[in-house]
C-alpha cells in the first residue's frame, strides 16, 4: 500500500555565514506518518522545515516530492508557480503565528473558503457549508463564521488556521511550533485536535517543536537536531525512553514531568 | 510449531552520558522462545531486568546485541534491526504491550483510547467502540465512565483501561507487565479469564506477574532473568 515516501531529502547543507544551519541532513516522510523534529533554538529545525517546504534553497543536497500522480518533482527546481500551486492544494503549512497563515481582515468562513476556491470550488452554498463544517470540526462556534480572526483568541486563531490548511485535504502538512505562543490548557486542546484530525485524514505531517511532550503525543517518529545535524532519530517512544546520544539524554532529562 | 517470538543472545546495557559515560549492563545472552498459545512468566528479583526485557521486546528500548525474532505476516522478522515504520506496523498488527501505567492523553474519552488500536487495524469506528465498550464493561468499568478521559480515574480503573486496550485487538503476541497489580479480586478473576481466552486463541504471552496466584494459574513455565553484574 504505502510503498514510496512522499518527501525525500538527501544530504542537505546550508550555511549562514560561517554557521552551519544544516549539515548533511537526509530524511524521508511516508504517507500517513507524523515526524517531529525536536531540538533547542538554533539547532536548525525551523531552517530544515523551510528548506523541505521549498521556502529556502539549500547550498547542498536535494528535496524530492512525489505527487499524487506518482511523478517525482525536485522541490527547489519546480519553479515558484508550481510550488505555490503545491502549497495551495497538496501541501499545507501551519505557522507558529496564526497571523502568518490567516488573512486577518477576512471572515473566518472566508479564510476557509478561500483555500477551497483556490483548488477550484465555485459553488457559494457548498463552500459556505464546508467552511461551517470545518469550523465545527476545529471547535469554533459556526455562529462566528462571519467574524474576522482579529476578534478571535489566540487559540481560536490557531484552530482556524488549521481548518484553513486542512480543508483542501493536503497530503503533507508542515507545522512550525503550532502550539508555540498558547496557554498550556489551550495547547492541550489544540494538540488533541491535531492528533485526531491527522489520524482521521491520514495526513503526513512534519512537525517542528521544542515541546518534547507534544512530540511524544503526536509523532510516530522523531528526529533530534543539534547544530544543524540530526544526532539521533527513530521511533518516538524509543528515542525518548532509551536515548543514545548525549544531547538527546540531556534533552530528555531536562523535561519537567507533570 | 515454531515460536511466535524468540530471542537469540539478546543483550542490553545503558550508557549514561550525563554521568560521565557510566555503562550499566542489564541483560546479556537472553535466549527465550514462546510458542503460540503459551504463557511464559518472567521471574527474578527486582532489578534483574524483567521490565527491561519486556521493553526491548516491544522496541521501546533498542536491543543492544543479539536478535529478537517475531513471526509477523507469516515470516520471521528481526525486531532488533527493524526501523521505525516497520516497528509501527508490527505494533499495529502483531505485538501488544500492556504496561503498568496508562499514558493518559488529555481530553480523549476512555472508549476511544480502547477503540483506537482497533480502528488503526481497519475496524470501522462504531464496531471498534462497541467492542471497546463490551470489554470495559467486562472489566467492571461502568458505562458512565466510558465517555470520560481517564486522567481522573483511580490507579485500578486506569489499569483496566490499559488492559482493555491491550486485549481488544487480539494480538498474536502479548506482553503483560504486572497486569493485576492494582486490581481487586473480582477484577483479577476477569483478567485471568482474558488471559486464558487469549491463550486458547493461540496468543503467545510473556508476562511479569508479582501476583503469584495469577502467575501459577496462567503461566506454563517460568523464565529466569538473571541480574547482570553492574559496573563490569
DSSP states along A155-168: HHHHHHHHHHHHTT
pLDDT digits (tens, 9 = 90+) for A66-82: 988 889 999 999 999 99
Nearest to B220 by CA among B70, B33, B50: B33
The C-alpha cell 522545515 sits at: A49
Are A16 and A3 members of one domain?
Answer: yes
Q: What values do phi and psi take at A82, rounded to 5?
A: -65, -40
B-chain CB neighbours of A155 within 8 Å are none
A vs B, Cβ pairs < 8 A, gives 52
Query: How confident is the model over A146-150, as a mean pLDDT?
Result: 97
| pLDDT tier for residue A199 given thresholds of 50, 70 and 90 | confident
Q: From the candidates B16, B84, B112, B123, which should be mutated to test the interface with A, based on the most A CB atoms within 10 A? A: B84
Q: Which residue in A has a C-alpha nearest to residue B58's C-alpha?
A: A238
Contacts of B61 (CB under 8 A, 6+ apart): A238, A241, A242, B12, B52, B55
Interface of chain A against chain B, CB under 8 Å?
30, 33, 188-189, 191-192, 195, 217, 220-221, 233-235, 237-238, 241-242, 244-246, 249-250, 253
Are A78 and A188 members of one domain?
Answer: yes
Interchain pair A242, B87: CB under 8 A: no
Q: What per-residue string of b and e applies to B88-106 under the rule 16 or more CB within 10 Å gives b?
A: bbbbebbbbbbbbebebbe
* pTM confidence score: 0.93
Nearest to B98 by CA among B164, B149, B28, B9: B164
- The pLDDT assigned to B15 comes to 96
Domain that holds residue A116: 99-169
Structural contact between residues A94 and A178, judged by C-beta atoms closer than 8 angstroms: yes
Average pLDDT, chain A: 92
Residue A228 reports pLDDT greater than 50: yes
Are A136 and A174 members of one domain?
Answer: no
Domain that holds residue B64: 5-229
Are A146 and A74 members of one domain?
Answer: no
Interchain pair A192, B106: CB under 8 A: yes
Q: Other C-beta atoms within 10 Å of A62: how many?
A: 15
- The pLDDT assigned to B96 comes to 98
Question: For residue A115, what is the enclosing H or E element?
Answer: helix A108-118
pLDDT digits (tens, 9 = 90+) for A98-142: 999 999 999 999 999 999 998 888 899 999 999 999 999 999 999
Rounded Cα distance between B82 and B103, Å, is: 24
B-chain CB neighbours of A237 within 8 Å are 60
B-chain CB neighbours of A179 within 8 Å are none
> What's the CATH number where B30 sits?
3.40.50.300
- The pLDDT assigned to B1 comes to 66
Contacts of A125 (CB under 8 A, 6+ apart): none
Domain count, chain A: 2
Are A71 and A198 members of one domain?
Answer: yes
Give the percent of chain A with pLDDT over 90. Answer: 75
Rounded Cα distance between B229 and B71, Å, is: 32
The C-alpha cell 524483567 sits at: B50
* Residue at a domain's end among A138, A169, A200: A169
Q: From the candidates B11, B13, B15, B17, which should be mutated to test the interface with A, based on the most A CB atoms within 10 A? A: B17
Q: What values do phi and psi take at B134, rounded to 5?
A: -65, -40
Q: Which residue in B has a C-alpha nearest to residue A236's C-alpha?
A: B84
B-chain CB neighbours of A235 within 8 Å are 59, 84, 87-88
* Residue at a domain's end among A119, A144, A169: A169
Domain count, chain B: 1
Are A176 and A155 members of one domain?
Answer: no
Rounded Cα distance between A86 and A66, Å, is: 11
Nearest to B28 by CA among B7, B42, B43: B7
Are A84 and A122 members of one domain?
Answer: no
Structural contact between residues A34 and A220, judged by C-beta atoms closer than 8 angstroms: yes
Are A184 and A146 members of one domain?
Answer: no
pLDDT digits (tens, 9 = 90+) for A6-40: 999 999 999 999 889 999 999 999 999 999 999 98
Nearest to A36 by CA among A225, A254, A170: A225
B-chain CB neighbours of A217 within 8 Å are 105
The Cα of A135 is separated from the nearest Cα of chain B by a number of Å equal to 19
- The pLDDT assigned to B230 comes to 44
- The pLDDT assigned to B231 comes to 42
The Cα of B15 is separated from the nearest Cα of chain A by a number of Å equal to 8
pLDDT digits (tens, 9 = 90+) for A156-166: 999 999 999 99
For residue A249, give the nearest of B18, B61, B84 by CB distance. Answer: B18
Interchain pair A241, B85: CB under 8 A: no
Q: Which residue in B has a C-alpha nearest to residue A3's C-alpha?
A: B85
Q: List the 40-79 stretch of B: residues with Cβ below 8 A of A.
A: 55, 59-62
* Residue at a domain's end among A129, A152, A169: A169
Rounded Cα distance between A245 and B116, Å, is: 32
| pLDDT tier for residue A257 given thresholds of 50, 70 and 90 | low
- The pLDDT assigned to A89 comes to 87
Q: From the candidates A188, A195, A238, which should be mutated to test the interface with B, based on the most B CB atoms within 10 A? A: A238
Contacts of A33 (CB under 8 A, 6+ apart): A204, A205, A220, A221, B85
Interchain pair B55, A244: CB under 8 A: no
Query: How do the pLDDT tens digits run along chain B, 232 residues long?
Result: 689 999 999 999 999 999 999 999 999 999 999 999 999 999 999 889 999 999 999 999 999 999 999 999 999 999 999 999 999 999 999 999 999 888 877 788 999 999 999 999 999 999 999 999 999 999 999 999 999 999 899 999 999 999 999 999 999 999 999 999 889 999 999 999 999 999 999 999 999 999 999 999 999 999 999 877 544 4
Rounded Cα distance between B60 and B58, Å, is: 5
> What's the CATH number where A83 sits?
3.40.50.300
Are A75 and A110 members of one domain?
Answer: no
Interchain pair A33, B16: CB under 8 A: no
From the DSSP assignment, how many helices (H) and strands (E) are in chain B? 7, 10
Question: For residue B173, what is the enclosing H or E element?
Answer: strand B173-177
- The pLDDT assigned to A191 comes to 86
Amino acid at each position: 500500500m504505502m510503498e514510496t515516501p512522499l518527501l525525500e531529502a538527501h544530504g542537505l547543507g546550508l550555511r549562514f555565514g560561517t554557521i552551519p544551519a544544516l549539515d548533511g541532513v537526509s530524511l524521508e516522510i511516508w504517507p500517513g506518518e507524523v515526524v517531529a523534529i525536536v531540538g533547542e533554538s538554533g539547532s536548525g529545525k525551523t531552517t530544515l522545515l523551510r528548506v523541505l517546504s521549498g521556502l529556502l534553497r539549500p547550498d547542498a543536497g536535494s528535496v524530492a516530492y512525489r505527487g499524487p500522480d506518482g511523478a517525482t518533482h525536485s522541490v527547489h527546481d519546480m519553479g515558484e508557480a508550481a510550488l505555490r500551486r503545491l502549497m495551495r492544494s497538496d501541501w499545507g503549512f501551519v505557522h507558529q503565528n496564526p497571523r502568518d497563515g490567516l488573512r486577518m481582515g477576512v471572515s473566518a468562513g472566508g479564510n476557509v473558503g478561500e483555500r477551497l476556491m483556490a483548488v477550484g470550488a465555485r459553488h457559494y452554498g457548498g463552500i459556505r457549508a464546508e467552511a461551517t463544517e470545518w469550523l465545527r470540526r476545529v471547535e469554533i462556534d459556526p455562529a462566528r463564521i462571519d467574524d474576522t480572526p482579529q476578534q478571535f483568541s489566540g487559540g481560536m486563531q490557531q484552530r482556524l488556521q488549521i481548518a484553513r490548511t486542512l480543508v483542501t485535504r493536503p497530503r503533507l502538512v508542515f507545522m512550525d511550533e503550532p502550539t508555540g505562543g498558547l496557554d498550556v490548557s489551550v495547547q492541550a486542546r489544540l494538540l488533541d485536535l491535531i492528533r485526531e484530525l491527522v489520524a482521521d485524514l491520514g495526513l503526513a505531517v512534519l512537525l517542528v517543536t521544542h515541546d518534547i511532550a507534544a512530540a511524544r503525543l503526536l509523532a510516530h517518529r522523531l528526529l533530534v537536531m543539534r547544530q544543524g545535524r540530526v544526532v539521533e532519530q527513530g521511533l518516538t517512544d524509543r528515542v525518548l525512553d532509551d536515548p543514545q546520544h548525549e544531547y538527546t539524554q540531556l534533552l530528555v532529562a531536562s523535561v519537567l514531568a507533570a | 510449531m515454531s515460536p511466535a517470538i524468540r530471542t537469540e543472545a539478546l543483550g542490553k546495557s545503558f550508557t549514561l552520558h550525563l554521568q560521565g559515560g557510566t555503562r550499566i549492563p542489564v541483560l546479556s545472552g537472553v535466549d527465550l522462545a514462546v510458542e503460540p498459545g503459551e504463557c511464559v512468566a518472567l521471574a527474578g528479583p527486582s532489578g534483574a531486568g524483567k521490565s527491561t526485557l519486556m521493553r526491548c521486546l516491544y522496541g521501546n528500548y533498542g536491543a543492544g546485541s543479539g536478535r529478537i525474532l517475531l513471526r509477523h505476516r507469516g515470516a520471521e522478522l528481526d525486531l532488533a534491526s527493524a526501523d521505525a515504520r516497520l516497528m509501527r506496523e508490527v505494533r499495529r498488527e502483531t505485538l501488544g504491550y500492556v504496561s503498568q501505567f496508562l499514558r493518559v492523553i488529555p481530553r480523549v474519552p476512555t472508549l476511544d483510547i480502547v477503540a483506537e488500536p482497533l480502528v488503526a487495524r481497519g475496524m470501522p469506528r462504531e464496531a471498534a467502540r462497541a467492542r471497546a465498550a463490551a470489554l470495559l464493561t467486562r472489566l467492571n468499568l461502568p458505562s458512565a465512565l466510558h465517555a470520560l478521559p481517564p486522567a481522573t480515574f483511580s490507579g485500578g480503573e486506569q489499569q483496566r483501561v490499559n488492559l482493555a486496550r491491550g486485549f481488544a485487538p487480539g494480538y498474536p503476541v502479548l506482553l503483560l507487565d504486572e497486569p493485576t497489580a492494582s486490581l481487586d479480586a473480582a477484577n483479577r478473576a476477569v483478567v485471568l479469564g482474558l488471559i486464558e481466552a487469549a491463550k486458547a486463541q493461540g496468543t503467545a504471552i510473556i508476562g511479569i506477574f508479582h501476583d503469584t496466584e495469577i502467575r501459577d494459574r496462567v503461566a506454563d513455565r517460568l523464565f529466569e532473568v538473571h541480574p547482570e553484574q553492574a559496573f563490569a
